[in-house]
């Protein structure tokens, strides 16, 4: 196996960053292919914590190539700040280890502001976005009026494109009685930041073609249930988060994907609004949230917590083509008397075994659980499957059977080294 895609199988924050960092010891190249700085990936290496938003998690390791693909939306100011912050922690980032697609679309201040305006006006029906401008930037990309990284190299291209994008945005802003954006002001800001971004810019597809003999790790952001097509629409992000997006969002053929690793938390969390059938609004949910330190990496919002939803993970396995699962945060369940997994739903008196597409139906699902005895001892830091308590093994084996794919690794703490390897995705 040469190329591995890491994809979240729930609503994000499954621990993708930790697993990508751990696996990247084996990869030559790490590629982000969708999303933007709505992502927050946490890496813990000895006593150091790194929180990455736009940069691939491989950037922390020496002698690795990091790539931001065309499918990512880039806020150039956020990227520049992230690079500076990591450099201040001693991480080397140069034109030799970071490449950015010249066709990636930019997030502009108008996008962030539009995200905020919409969320503020939506009241109770808000999505609970990260307010980073992700949705509005993808809309402009698909609307064919986006500004791309490569455009930063030409003042005349910027001029023309800004006219087009501002015609659209200023018409809406007028209707909303918001301040009209001035082209020269944005152009100046973009030209000022341009040199900091352009030095990494290139046709990424060409680079990936050159790297045919190398091992690539594609780092997904968010999770399958936040996918714009396959998730809990409209309570989703604005990109495709499934593994197939790795090829589109980086410019290589679908046949370059050899293995899909789905990251799955041993329970479920969600940030923002939207359906969550197994949500626990009681003291158990609060206990899981406390022990798991479930606060958003990007927005610091408290994450909603609940039991593992086997139905949803199984659906993600099928939709994203997951070959194996990395089960994370098992240690968070260590103290519980009883652990549950949702194995079916009841809807209007009938049993169903998948997530219906209608949001009204999603909101009315009653989870049916299978119960497991808690193991009530510490699994923190365990590195061998056989060292796990028997009751934890039963839970893991049952998940494996239910979601119809194998568990290839298990994470037992935030630390890079605390991971049980069962099947190495790069060496099958
Ligand atoms: P991502 O967005 O999928 O990369 O996940 P986040 O980094 O946003 O959130 C996962 C959180 O769980 C981070 O704080 C990680 O350090 C932490 N984490 C990852 N794996 C484990 C684990 O196995 N056990 C515990 N206790 N924490 C973990
Ligand atoms: P990582 O990569 C968890 C959620 C937001 C909101 C919805 C839409 O760290 O797993 P957006 O700003 O994308 O338009 O918000 O998606 N969301 C995430 N939730 N983890 C993430 O990324 C997320 N990125 C977006 O909370 O519900
Ligand atoms: Mg996160």
The answer to whether the beta carbons of residues 151 and 76 sit under 8 Å apart is no
pLDDT, mean of residues 217-239: 98
Taken in order 337, 341, 343, 347, the sign of the CA dihedral is: positive
Q: How far is the CA of 183 from the centre of ligand 1 (A)?
A: 41
219 touches ligand 1 (CB under 6 Å): no
Whether the link from the prior residue into 234 is cis, omega within 30° of 0, is yes
The answer to whether the beta carbons of residues 217 and 31 sit under 8 Å apart is yes
36-77: pLDDT as tens digits: 999 999 999 998 999 999 999 999 999 999 999 999 999 999
pTM: 0.97
User: What pLDDT score does 399 carry?
Assistant: 98
- 169 noted as active-site residue: no
Burial class (CB in 10 A: 0-12, 13-18, 19+), 390: exposed
Rg of the chain taking only CA atoms, in angstroms = 22
- 41 noted as active-site residue: yes
User: What pLDDT score does 188 carry?
Assistant: 97
pLDDT at 401 over 70: yes
User: What pLDDT score does 299 carry?
Assistant: 87
165-180: pLDDT as tens digits: 999 999 999 999 999 9
- How many contiguous H segments (helices) and E segments (strands) does the chain have? 12, 20
Query: What's the CA gap between 259 and 243, in Å, rounded?
Result: 10
Taken in order 16, 18, 24, 26, the sign of the CA dihedral is: negative
Q: How confident is the model at residue 16 (pLDDT cuts 50, 70, 90)?
A: very high
pLDDT at 1 over 80: no
Q: How confident is the model at residue 152 (pLDDT cuts 50, 70, 90)?
A: very high
Question: From the alpha carbon of 51, which atom of ligand 1 is closest?
Answer: 7
Strands 406-411 vs 419-421: parallel, antiparallel or unpaired: antiparallel
User: What pLDDT score does 131 carry?
Assistant: 97
Mean pLDDT of the chain: 97
CA of 411, nearest ligand number: 1
Query: What's the CA gap between 216 and 26, in Å, rounded?
Result: 9
The answer to whether the beta carbons of residues 198 and 152 sit under 8 Å apart is yes
Q: How far is the CA of 15 from the centre of ligand 1 (A)?
A: 4
182-197: pLDDT as tens digits: 999 999 999 999 999 9
pLDDT, mean of residues 235-241: 98
Question: Which listed residue (13, 115, 140, 418) is catalytic?
Answer: 13
By mean pLDDT, which of 5-9, 122-126, 410-414 is the weakest?
A: 122-126
274-318: pLDDT as tens digits: 999 999 999 999 999 999 999 988 889 999 999 999 999 999 999
Residues with CB under 6 A from ligand 2: 8, 11-13, 38-41, 127-130, 132, 134-135, 221-222, 226, 237-238, 271-272, 297
Question: Which listed residue (21, 37, 41, 140) is catalytic?
Answer: 41
Q: How far is the CA of 148 from the centre of ligand 1 (A)?
A: 32
Burial class (CB in 10 A: 0-12, 13-18, 19+), 331: buried
pLDDT at 371 over 70: yes
């Amino acid at each position: 196996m040469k190329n591995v895609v890491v994809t979240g199988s729930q609503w994000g924050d499954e621990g993708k960053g930790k697993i990508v960092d751990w696996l990247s010891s084996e990869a030559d190249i790490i590629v982000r292919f969708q999303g933007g700085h709505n992502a927050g990936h946490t890496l813990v290496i000895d006593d150091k914590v790194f929180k990455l938003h736009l940069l691939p998690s491989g950037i922390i390791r020496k002698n690795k190539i990091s790539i931001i693909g065309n499918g990512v939306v880039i806020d150039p100011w956020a990227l520049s700040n992230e690079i500076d912050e990591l450099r201040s922690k001693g991480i080397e980032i140069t034109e030799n280890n970071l490449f950015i697609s010249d066709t990636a679309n930019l997030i502009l201040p108008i996008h962030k502001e539009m995200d905020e305006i919409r969320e503020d006006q939506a009241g109770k029906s808000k999505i609970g976005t990260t307010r980073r401008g992700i949705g509005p930037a993808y809309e402009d990309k698909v609307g064919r009026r986006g500004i791309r990284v490569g455009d930063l190299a030409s003042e005349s291209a910027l001029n023309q494109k800004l006219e087009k994008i501002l015609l659209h945005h200023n018409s809406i802003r007028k209707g909303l009685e918001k301040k009209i954006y001035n082209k020269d002001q944005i152009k100046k800001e973009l030209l000022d930041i341009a040199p900091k971004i352009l030095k990494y810019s290139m046709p990424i597809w060409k680079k990936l073609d050159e790297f045919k003999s190398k091992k690539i790790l594609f780092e997904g952001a968010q999770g399958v249930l936040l996918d714009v097509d396959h998730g809990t629409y409209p309570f989703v992000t604005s990109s495709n988060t499934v593994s197939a997006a790795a090829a589109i969002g980086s410019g290589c053929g679908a046949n370059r994907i050899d293995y899909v690793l789905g990251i799955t938390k041993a329970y479920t969390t969600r940030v923002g609004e939207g359906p969550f059938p197994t949500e626990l609004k009681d003291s158990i949910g609060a206990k899981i949230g406390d022990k798991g330190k479930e606060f958003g990496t990007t927005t610091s919002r408290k994450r909603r917590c609940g039991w593992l939803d086997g139905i949803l993970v199984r659906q993600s396995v099928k939709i994203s083509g997951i070959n194996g699962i990395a089960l994370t945060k098992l240690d968070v369940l260590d103290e519980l008397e009883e652990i549950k997994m949702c194995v079916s739903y009841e809807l209007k008196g009938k049993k169903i075994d998948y997530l219906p597409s209608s949001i009204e139906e999603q909101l009315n699902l009653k989870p049916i659980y299978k119960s497991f005895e808690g193991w009530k001892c510490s699994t923190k830091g365990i590195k061998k499957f056989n060292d796990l308590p028997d009751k934890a093994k039963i839970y893991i084996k049952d998940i494996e059977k239910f979601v119809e794919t194998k568990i290839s690794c298990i994470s037992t703490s935030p630390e890079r080294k605390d991971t049980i390897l069962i099947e190495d995705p790069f060496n099958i």
